[in-house]
Amino acid sequence: MHISKRDGIVAWKAWLVRLLAIVLALLVDAIIIFAVVRLNPIDVYASMFNGAFGTEKKIWFLVRDLMILSCIGIGLAPAFKMRFWNIGAEGQMLVGGIMTAFWMINFAGKVPTWLLFVLMIVSALIAGGVWGFLPGLFKAIWNTNETLFTLMMNYIAIQLTSFFVAKWENPPGSNSVGVINRMGDVKNVGWIGNMFSKGYNADYGWVAAIVLVLAVAMFIYLNYSKQGYEIAVVGDSENTARYAGIRVRNVYMRTMAISGAICGFAGFLAVSAVSHTISTSTAGGRGFTAIIVAWLAKMNPFVMILISALLTFMDKGASQIASDFGLNEYVSQIVSGVILFFILGSEFFLNYRIQFAKAKK
Amino acid sequence: MHLEKAIEMKNITKRFGSKVVANRSVSLTLYKGEILSLLGENGSGKTTLMNMLSGIYYPDEGEIFVNEKPVEIKSPKDAFDLGIGMIHQHFKLVDVFTAAENIVLGLEGEKGKLDKGAVAKAVREIADRYGFEIDPNQKVYNMSVSQKQTVEIVKVLYRGANILILDEPTAVLTPQETEKLFTVMRNMRADGKAIIIITHKLHEVLAVSDRVAVLRKGEYIGDVPTAEASQQSLTDMMVGRAVSLNIDRPLAEAQTDRLVVEHLTVKDKEGVKKLDDVSFVAKAGEILGIAGIAGSGQKQLLEAIAGVQRAEPGSSVRYIEPDGSSSKQLVGMDPLSIIKKGVLLSFVPEDRFGMGLVGTMSISHNVMLRSYRRGKTPMLDRKFPKQLSQKIVRDLEVVTPDIDRTPIRRLSGGNVQKVLVGREIEQSPTVLMTAYAVRGLDINTSYTIYNLLTEQKMKGVAVIYVGEDLDVLLELCDRILVLCGGKVSGVVDGRNTTKEEVGLMMTKLGGGN
């Protein structure tokens, strides 16, 4: 057997391989489901599908979650394109969320709503931007390791969040902030969907629209702008960048500020459009999941949305199986894990060809 | 005497993807006790063919016989087991290990023990037998390029190779080192080993080999005994038509000072002086050659002028405007400042992918590297670099599937170099610096580049040519600056000097005894 790299593959073949991977994954899963828990695989798959698309509400939840995940992925894209391993999206998102909550709690009703939104968004962008800029600055000047640095910044952000949760505790003693602006004069002020119409689908419709615009903007920025070109050159070879007159330090700092700012914006969305509260689990590990999203999508924002959709679908499906069949989450995670494994595995066959040598003699 | 066949390849075909045929039905024979030169232009499939012997690629069609027995070489290990050893252009050594440790790396010792004494002894025996100079206990990071190559060769011999393949071994060596390598190769031949050498330097082919096999565009053109060949006949065979092998050296009329370098000193990260108080003048309308043993400060010299490398205080590089009106101090400026000052400095660096090109990008994106700032909008102008790429591809006969899709790393070395040189010349520079501009290029492409440089010179550009091939330096350059250990050993007139004189100056300051 001989493995060699492919020069490329036609699009329809690539999709055929991916489809085949999903079919295979479902087959393997069927065996696992039957062997381990003695359930009818078809029922389980139906339940999974149901968990994600069962009702209009569920579809909206799916859209909301996948869009926020995409938003973080879009934030990571410029950093990763520069080969700057920003694993600090979690923290960048949290500080963005803190700033959003700050304005919502303290200024709702005191300033015009449009101004409140401007303050929320701008401060979330700045906070996330600073959280990204700092590791960029240290890398540019002292060549510090960005992976450790961004990771550490996460812990600082988590501690900051705990501090503000304690400060803004509502009701006292609950150790949580509770839903901000839930009733009274300031009911729903600072909730994004409340700007024009009411209801969760308005909230989530906004999220989807904003993230789609961001995806288009990031795609253009990375592929068609001068700065995007500089990012790509720095990512491939710092020396070549310097040779071409690109100031590598500035590119590091600028790009990380942008990356952090978008992740901070994801924090704004999470607070203003989704939970309407802030807690240490506002990011909820999505800052890390988004790394997989950005990476699998090879920094293409549109593909990120597809991959986020897949991951979110799996997640929703897994919890639905767990509740429908009274299984623990682990079994359902195995089921979704197998699907993911096959889809990722199919990438290998897209990049490499396997030849079987002719039989000897 | 040439009776026993060491290797026979029959009707070998290798395709990459559906379109590219790297080798088409190639049949090649190598006899024991023979040195065979494999000759061909860039991209003619020499390295691919050899990679099938060393187990890196597997042929799509055809058969391979080693010692007259049919074999399947599916991995480098299979190749080793058959006694085939390949020395690649890029060395694969562990820097922090000694020569001996590198040599036994990956071999199964007895019961997992490493008897360093025994290894060192065996290494010395091999060295004595063939005339290598090697210290088994020296760390690789302390070695010169030539010493590293020696380690690579001893490594394959230690593993019992009887068939050696050397891929452009002389590209990185000085003439003296090359001569030593040839002596070793002759000793190995006398010992009955079979050797294939890939090189672009025809005088080396004539000097060392017994027979020459020529590939052109993936096909086997034929082979001739070296005794019956000449540089001209081999070139014609390789290119497929008669080619002129003369470098024109016209004298430009107006030669004015363009770059005045004074007391240029550059230190590396450890504070070691890599360039020590270098002063010279580069004139518009001349090609100034820079000669020196590899690592004598050539890299630092060009990089310091280009603003990529920091120069020590007291250094001065003055750029004099073509109209002679004013001059600018380049020391202390980074490349962007130099561009903004309107100084059109072109630079073909030594390490193409480490500096100069972005391997993962297409030709057109690489061409853009110099011009992407054009236009006032924050968006890229993609049309201009595309047109420029098309022009470079057309003018320099770059072989490529496309200009805006295939990563440039996938092109063969010669084509990559053409794109780089083409881009730098298209900037219409006033100073053109090139480091090893023809390294790894076939003879036809090399001459294209020599002519381009001369053309630039005649346009009034100050050309600085860092080269390793003394024959070319003597034929191409108006003046030659010789570096030795980071210092200027002397400047000689290219028209009235000899290879010996320059060679001596390379190894000893001033060239005296």
Q: Provide φ and ψ at A347, rounded to 5°.
A: -60, -35
Segment B154-182, tens digit of pLDDT? 988 888 889 999 988 887 777 778 888 99
From chain A, pick out residues whose CB is under 8 angstroms from the CB of B72. 357, 360
Structure tokens at B76: 């480098």
Q: Which tokens sit at B448?
A: 């294209």
Residue contact B373–A226, C-beta within 8 A: yes
CB B234 within 8 A of CB B212: yes
ipTM of the shown complex:
0.83
Q: How far is CA A194 from CA A66, A187, A272, B352, in A?
A: 21, 10, 10, 57
Rounded to whole angstroms, the Cα distance separating B290 from B301 reads 10
A7 → closest Cβ in B17, B57, B349: B17
Q: Cβ contact (<8 Å) for B336 and A247?
A: yes
What is the architecture of the domain spanning A62-304? Orthogonal Bundle (1.10)
Q: Does A242 touch chain B (CB under 8 A)?
A: yes
Let me know if A330 is exposed, middle or buried by CB neighbors in 10 A (0-12, 13-18, 19+): exposed
B86-120 burial: b if 16+ Cβ within 10 Å, else e: bbbbebebeeebbbbbbbbeeeeeeeeeeeeeebb
Distance CA B423, CA B415 (A): 12
Hey, what are B71's tokens?
A: 């074999």
Average pLDDT over residues B53-62: 89
Q: What is the pLDDT of residues B196-255, one digit of tens each?
A: 999 888 888 899 999 999 998 889 999 999 999 888 888 888 888 777 777 888 888 878
* DSSP structure class, residue B158: H
Interface with A, mutate which of B300, B357, B365 (most A CBs under 10 A)? B357
pLDDT tens-place values along chain A, 361 residues long: 666 667 667 778 888 888 899 899 989 989 988 888 888 888 888 988 888 888 888 888 899 999 999 999 999 999 999 999 999 999 999 999 999 999 999 998 889 988 999 999 999 999 999 999 999 999 999 999 999 999 999 999 999 999 999 999 888 888 888 888 887 777 777 887 666 555 566 778 888 999 999 999 999 999 999 999 999 999 999 999 999 999 999 999 999 999 999 999 999 999 998 888 999 999 989 999 999 999 889 899 999 999 999 889 888 888 888 888 887 778 778 888 888 889 888 888 887 877 665 544 3
Q: What is the pLDDT of residues B129-161, one digit of tens each?
A: 888 888 888 888 888 878 888 898 898 888 888
- CA–CA min distance A266, chain B (Å): 25
Q: What residues of B are in contact with residue A232 (Cβ under 8 Å)? A: 358, 361, 365
Contact with chain B for residue A143, Cβ under 8 A: no
Q: Which of B236, B171, B238 is nearest to B201 (CA)?
A: B171
Averaged pLDDT score across all residues of chain B: 88
Nearest chain B residue to A233, by CA: B358
**Mean pLDDT of the region B477-499:** 92
B479 alpha-carbon distance from chain centroid: 22
Given a contact cutoff of 8 angstroms between Cβ atoms, the answer to whether B472 and B436 are in contact is no
Cβ distance A209 to A70 under 8 Å? no
B 310-369 → A contacts, CB under 8 A:
334-336, 338-339, 347, 349, 353-361, 365, 368-369
Residues from chain A contacting residue B368 (CB–CB below 8 Å)? 229
CA B472 to CA A173: how far, in whole Å? 85
Residue B353 phi/psi, 5-degree rounding, is -90, -25
Within a 13 Å sphere around the CA of B245, how many CA atoms are in the beta-carbon half?
A: 17
Which residue reads 């081999």 in tokens? B234
Domains in chain B, ordered, with CATH? 5-239 (3.40.50.300), 257-344+428-511 (3.40.50.300), 357-427 (no CATH)
Nearest residue of B to residue A221, measured between CA atoms: B379
